[in-house]
Amino acid sequence: MKRFALILLAGATLAMTACGGEEKPAETVTPSEVEGANNMMNNLLQQGVQEATEQLADSSSLLNKALDTLKDVVGENQELIEDKLEEGINALNKSF
């Protein structure tokens, strides 16, 4: 067993040194690239908020239907959810 472990250790060492330790230089990011990425993310966020707001305003939207379904499922299973949360909290407290 020790011989097997030594062979594995030697193989792992060889594999790790075979790459030569050469790393590609890190890419430099210009401020304009960062600003462009920030602008893109801000635009996407604004579009997402606008879409969600429009969906919530429409009572027949898929988002509202999904939220209604989620409320129903949680309401129907509230006692089970609370029991499982309590079990989880108790298990967590015991682990400390």
Q: What is the pLDDT of residue 34?
A: 84
Tell me how far apart the alpha carbons of residues 47 and 14 are, in angstroms, rounded to a whole number. 52
Tell me how far apart the alpha carbons of residues 1 and 80 are, in angstroms, rounded to a whole number. 50
Q: What is the pLDDT of residue 20?
A: 60
How would you write the pLDDT of the chain (96 residues) with one tens digit per residue?
Answer: 566 666 777 777 766 665 665 666 777 778 888 888 899 999 999 999 999 999 999 999 999 999 999 999 999 999 999 999 999 999 999 988
Q: What is the pLDDT of residue 65?
A: 93
Tell me how far apart the alpha carbons of residues 76 and 81 are, in angstroms, rounded to a whole number. 10
Structural contact between residues 40 and 51, judged by C-beta atoms closer than 8 angstroms: no
Q: What is the pLDDT of residue 18?
A: 59
Tell me how far apart the alpha carbons of residues 96 and 87 are, in angstroms, rounded to a whole number. 15
pTM over 0.95: no
**Chain position carrying tokens 């635009």:** 43
Terminus-to-terminus CA distance in the chain, angstroms? 37
Q: Which residues contact 81 (CB under 8 A, 6 or more apart)?
A: 74
